[in-house]
Amino acid sequence: MSPAPIETKPRLLLVDDEPNILSSYSRILGRSWDVTTAADGEAGLRSIEANRPFAIVVSDFRMPRMDGATFLAKVKEIAPDTTRIMLTGELDFKVAVQAVNEGNIFRFLTKPCPPGLLQTALDDGLRLYRLIQAEKDAREQEISIAGEIQQSLLFGNVPAEAGGALLACVTLPSQGVDGDFIDFIAHRPGCFDILVGDVMGKGLHAALIGAGTKNAFARAFGRLAIENCQNGSCEIPSPEMILRRVQEEVGSNLSNLGSFATLIYARFDLKAGKLIWVDAGHTPTLAFSAKDGQCTQLKGEFPPLGFPQLKAYSQFEHPIASGDMVFFYSDGFTDRRNAEGQFFGVDGLESALIQGRNEQPSALLQHLFNQVNDFGGHAPFADDLTGILVKI
């Protein structure tokens, strides 16, 4: 029979400029709390920043250099989940009430405070702290599940090969779920569409809008295809007609939600040797030419989906040949900053793409990601990151 696990004591920080009070409370509370003490607000802040989170911080009001109200307001900024309690004298009652109203403290107690009353306040504060942690854990689990659903059901399945083209794809959400969206639609051998979009914002709401916008493209494509058949035509709906229909159906809804989406919809026709594309305010797509070893930025002048439409979306064509590459991406690549605040930028992507032109798409895309990650010092990405690389 294995021994029962030892429960970890909740962590408590006591801040007071009177050593006798710190010593007395530490001795009384040490049986049930992991107590840390600090003689002033500055020392208390250093302790919070240097250690694991405290469940509760108890601070005296009258202290040199930084009073308790100011100290606990700063605690709220750097450790918002920590329960904050203030000890005050009777003359500081109005200040304490103000601190409560401003949301900087959970409870205030007048000095001298009997140990039993302090313990009751600590018990109440600990229940609040644990409730907040439970809610955070539940939300993190919810986001994790949502991310798995998004990856497995909502993102398009980008194949590694499509009738004469090799493809690679990467998606990295910045908050568990992704505001970016992608899709791949095969029509016939050597002819396929790629959709890459980026919803304003991050997190669950952006992911839901992205899923809805992607679904709008599927609906628009299907309805236009049916209309073509009814008119006696077997033509695949053009990229510009698909985007125009999506704008008609969901553009105003996005605007009403206070959101918008940048995107590019591109069709590869390998038999005809051309790329047909239409964009809506998206980052420039990079087209590498194997013939001259240079990159061309494919960028239209149309606004994002959800903006007021001053003119109808129109498509463009770009020649493609064997050895050429096309890179679609979200601004998570280009907006990556280094320690000096500089952006990785489109120029950085162009350079990396040219340098890796002889690599297979999967290896080259990993190389691009590594360069962007290294550029930002391996810090967490501040924005969703999506990329699809196609090599003819």
72/159 same-domain check: no
293/207 same-domain check: yes
Q: What is the CATH number of the domain that holds 135?
A: 3.40.50.2300
Question: Which pLDDT belongs to residue 103?
Answer: 60
Whether the pLDDT of residue 98 is over 80: the answer is no
Whether the pLDDT of residue 144 is over 70: the answer is no
Question: Which pLDDT belongs to residue 226?
Answer: 87
CA 155 to CA 214: how far, in whole Å? 9
CB distance 237 to 224 below 8 Å: yes
The burial class, CB within 10 Å (0-12 / 13-18 / 19+), for 310 is exposed
129/70 same-domain check: yes
Q: Read off the pLDDT band of 96 (50, 70, 90).
A: low
174/313 same-domain check: yes
Question: Which pLDDT belongs to residue 232?
Answer: 81
What's the whole-number average pLDDT of the chain?
A: 85
Q: Read off the pLDDT band of 178 (50, 70, 90).
A: low
Any domain includes 2: no
274/182 same-domain check: yes
187/288 same-domain check: yes
User: Looking at 116, 142, 168, which one is the last position of a domain?
Assistant: 142
pLDDT (mean) for 367-378: 86
172/115 same-domain check: no
Whether the pLDDT of residue 256 is over 70: the answer is yes
Q: What is the CATH number of the domain that holds 318?
A: 3.60.40.10
89/219 same-domain check: no
Question: Which pLDDT belongs to residue 285?
Answer: 95
Question: Which pLDDT belongs to residue 230?
Answer: 85
pLDDT above 70 coverage of the chain, percent? 88
Q: Read off the pLDDT band of 149 (50, 70, 90).
A: low
User: Looking at 120, 142, 164, which one is the last position of a domain?
Assistant: 142
Q: Which residue has the higher pLDDT, 374 or 141?
A: 374
pLDDT (mean) for 143-147: 60
pTM of the model: 0.67
111/199 same-domain check: no
Any domain includes 21: yes
CA 76 to CA 60: how far, in whole Å? 16
Whether the pLDDT of residue 99 is over 70: the answer is no
Any domain includes 266: yes
CA 280 to CA 300: how far, in whole Å? 7
Any domain includes 6: no
The burial class, CB within 10 Å (0-12 / 13-18 / 19+), for 362 is middle
Any domain includes 197: yes
pLDDT (mean) for 32-46: 92
Any domain includes 112: yes
Question: Which pLDDT belongs to residue 177?
Answer: 59
What domain range includes position 37?
A: 11-142
Question: Which pLDDT belongs to residue 7?
Answer: 54
**Token pair for 290:** 């194997």
pLDDT above 90 coverage of the chain, percent? 36
pLDDT digits (tens, 9 = 90+) for 206-215: 777 887 888 8
> Which of 30-44, 95-109, 239-253, 287-301 is least confident?
95-109
Any domain includes 149: no
Domain count, the chain: 2
194/247 same-domain check: yes
Residue 339 CA: distances (Å) to CA of 17, 238, 371, 381, 382 = 39, 44, 15, 13, 14
Q: Read off the pLDDT band of 34 (50, 70, 90).
A: very high
Q: Which is nearest to 246 in space by CA: 234, 231, 264?
A: 264
Any domain includes 290: yes
194/136 same-domain check: no
283/387 same-domain check: yes
Beta strands of 243-377 (E only): which ranges?
Answer: 261-269, 274-280, 285-289, 294-298, 316-319, 325-329
Whether the pLDDT of residue 295 is over 90: the answer is yes
User: Looking at 142, 164, 193, which one is the last position of a domain?
Assistant: 142
